């Protein structure tokens, strides 16, 4: 067959480094989310000890990572 024919369509034209880059990005993102979650739990425990029931009430009306929109729960 001539170059550029039907057989050449079967080959991937992407670099093997693209897959590695995506895997590295996914791994880094997972590590960052894990570290943020651990830090969040530590910080919330500290705030509960410091402010007690006032912080628990505030925490029940706000989101952890993403703000809540809409009516506030009572």
Using one digit for the tens of pLDDT, what is the confidence trace for 1-60? Answer: 555 555 555 555 666 666 667 888 889 999 999 999 999 999 999 999 999 999 999 988
Position with higher pLDDT, 8 vs 71: 71
Q: How far apart are CA 35 and CA 71, in angstroms?
A: 30
Give 21's DSSP letter. Answer: H
Helix/strand/coil percent split, the chain, to 5? 65, 0, 35
Instruction: Pick the closest to residue 61 from 49, 72, 46, 50 (CA basis).
Output: 72
Please identify which residue in the block is written with the tokens 């912080």. 55
């Amino acid at each position: 067959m001539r170059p550029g024919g039907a057989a050449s369509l079967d080959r991937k034209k992407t670099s093997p480094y693209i897959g590695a880059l995506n895997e590295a990005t996914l791994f880094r993102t997972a590590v960052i989310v894990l570290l943020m979650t651990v830090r969040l739990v530590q910080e919330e425990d500290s705030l509960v000890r410091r402010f007690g029931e006032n912080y628990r009430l505030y925490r029940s009306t706000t989101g952890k990572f993403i703000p809540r929109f809409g009516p506030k729960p009572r």
